[in-house]
Chains A and B, each alone.
Chain A
Amino acid sequence: MLGALAAAAAMLALAACGSQQPRSAGGGRLQVVAAENFWGSIAAQLGGDRVDVHSIIVNPATDPHEYEPTPSDARAIAASQITIVNGIGYDEWALRLLAAESQPPHKVLDVGRLLHLQAGANPHQWYSPESVQRVIDAITASYTRLRPRQAAYFAARRRSFETVALAGYHALIAKIRQRYAGVPVGYSESIFRPLGEALGLKLITPYSFAKATAEGAEVTAAEREQVDAQARRREIAVWVLNSQNVTPEVRRVDEIVRAAHIPIVTITETLSPASEDFQQWQASQLRRLAAALQQAAG
């Protein structure tokens, strides 16, 4: 029995010698895998034609928290030179795939670690303009580390991404902030909080309610009462709904909001439609939010 085990192990170990990490040579396109397409879209635009980006979660109908990776995801991550994960407990499956092999240093760009956020913090950092900026810096830095000779190219890509591609996104944020700062809004899921704060809106939904929605946890009776009352008494000007994570609890609040004729703004967790890029997607959501705020404010 021991012999059979040892023989099997030895055989596989021998075979294993033939498989090592791909070395990153001086040239060629960088192979980048992003666990989710919001980071993938940014990485692709920053890399231009020197980088191939593959995003794993692209379907707006998938709940990224509960994604079950496939062997081809594992292959893509194994073959990549840079893997971008969100971290903060959002994509544990990707970290599990990464744990299967010894990684070369700097291969993994973990957004949570970059921002020094622990598990339990709000994982939806792509909804924070400030965090997005820091991820942009980090992505360009890893490209430059692996392809130092193309540093100028990556610097130019970054400049154009920040000043041209993201111009509309930043302008919309500034405009909403200027006109509607302090307006009380409600939101179904913690995903909107970073953006809501950046917009200067008054987020009056208890954070524990929004966090519970994101994590699929139970909502307490007191929280439910508060959220319902805010909607019934029309204390919120606008209700922001994450359509990619609608729990029965959220659906219930939704009905009250509808009955009270409060405008609803729908946002999504990942790029929607999946063919849009990060800034188009965010800008169209911001425009809808601006329209709803205008309708509410009159």
Chain B
Amino acid sequence: MPMAGAIRWQTALTALEPGDELARRRLGRGAAMSPHLSPDLVSDAQQLLAYTFMVHALIAASIVAVMAAVTGWFMVLRRESFAGHTLSVMAFPGAAAAILAGIPVAFGYFAFSGGAALVIGAGSVRRGRGGGVQAALTGTVQAAALALGFLLLGVYGGLLESPTSLLFGSFLGISATQVVSLAVLAVGVLAFFALVGRPLLFASVDGAVASAHRVPVKALSISFMVVLGLTAAAIAQVTGALLVLALLVAPPATAMQLTPRIGVSLLLSILTALVTVWLGLGLAYFTNYAAGFFITTVAFTIYLAARLIGTLAWRPRREMVGPRPPSKADGLRHASVEG
């Protein structure tokens, strides 16, 4: 029976009864096996949303994108991208520990990223916030955590779900519960920024002056680190541990290239992140290749374009203004270029 393994969609289509209208729509034009991208955006969107798994993926990715864009914006401003990367790779030992303990993988992500955030946050505050101390501590934590993850895999020994999906993510198979828990977390994270966004911004741009104004700089940096850890853990569920930075760094860096205005920059960052995940998932859906690649490539392309626009649009204006005392906005731009 050479044909035993193949679905004969054409016959399936003719055999359907009128009641199977929905199945017919899906099977029609081979949609179930190979949807095709067309110039008709409405048809593309319909194909994208024809399956619950894809709807879940899009909602989860959108939630994660908004969180990433806002948290990442502050992270880039505070030049803590390395800490962000470390907190993302925590997903690997986190997942291994969770599998070993027989609990859902997401718990492992949050426990490890949150825990490492506390260590990095508290450790670098006590020693005084020299960038070098934090980077060294972060690097040490990262190496230790990766080694622990490898050990835990060895201890578990059993069949493990492919490590590739832990590292590079999978947007297939996101459950409704997962979507709800991501949404709850996102509300918490955004509430954090709504509450302490202003003092955090002040502390991030100029810690010494903020301290003099009795802004609790230490408490803010530790709590921000924890929020960063939770955000990274959430992103890792969609993009995998290694590609978290595509959402955490690229969209805010893009926004900061385009505008010095804080509100606009934040909104641009969110918009960029949303466009990135939508395009990334859409391309993965239609081409049948990994979403991680497309999300990263889209993020990188948008960043390049913004950088080009930023270079063209900013240079002449700055020359026109000439030397002037540094402002908050300058702090922002410098952070984005160097951070």
A67 adjacent to B162 (CB under 8 Å):
yes
Which range holds the interface residue count of chain B? 35 or more
Asked if residues A76 and B55 are in contact (CB atoms below 8 Å), the reply is no
Closest chain B residue, CB of each to CB of A69 = B172
Closest to A37 in B: B5
Q: How does the 8 Å CB contact mask read for A257-292 relative to B, with 1 for contact and 0 for none?
A: 000000000000000001101000000000000000
Least CB distance, A129 to chain B, in whole angstroms: 20
User: Is residue B49 within 8 Å, beta carbon to beta carbon, of the partner chain?
Assistant: yes
Do residues A9 and B183 form an inter-chain contact, with CB atoms below 8 A?
Answer: yes
A5, A65, A120 interface centre (most CB from chain B within 10 Å): A5
Residues on A with C-beta less than 8 A from B33 are: 72, 75-76
> Which residues on B sit within 8 Å (CB–CB) of A215?
157-159
- A-contact bits for B282-293, CB 8 A (1 contact / 0 none): 001100111000
**A53 and B5: CB pair below 8 A?**
yes
A54 x B53 contact (CB < 8 A):
no
Kindly state whether residue B330 has any CB partner on chain A within 8 Å: no
Considering only residues 68-113 of chain A, those with a C-beta below 8 Å from chain B are: 68-76, 78-79, 89-90, 92-93, 96-102
Q: How many A-B residue pairs have CB under 8 A?
A: 201
Against A, the Cβ 8 Å flags (1 = close, 0 = not) of B2-34 are 101111100110011101101100110001111
Q: Which of A205-227 contact B (CB under 8 A)?
A: 212, 214-218
* Residue pair B159, A65 in contact (C-beta under 8 Å): yes
Complex alpha-carbon distance, A102 and B56, angstroms: 11
Residue in B6, B58, B70, B284 whose beta carbon sits within 8 Å of that of A71 in the complex: B284
Asked if residues B26 and A1 are in contact (CB atoms below 8 Å), the reply is: no
CB distance from B153 to the nearest CB of A (A): 10
In the complex, are the beta carbons of B52 and A16 less than 8 A apart?
Answer: yes
Q: A1-B270, A23-B22 are in contact. Are A29 and B158 (CB under 8 A)?
A: no
A31 CB-CB contact with B under 8 Å: yes
List 13 interface pairs A-B (beta carbons < 8 Å), by A numbering.
A1-B194, A8-B62, A12-B59, A16-B59, A23-B20, A23-B22, A54-B7, A70-B288, A72-B288, A79-B32, A89-B159, A96-B173, A102-B52
Across the A-B interface, the 4 shortest Cβ-Cβ residue pairs: A96-B173, A100-B53, A22-B23, A101-B52
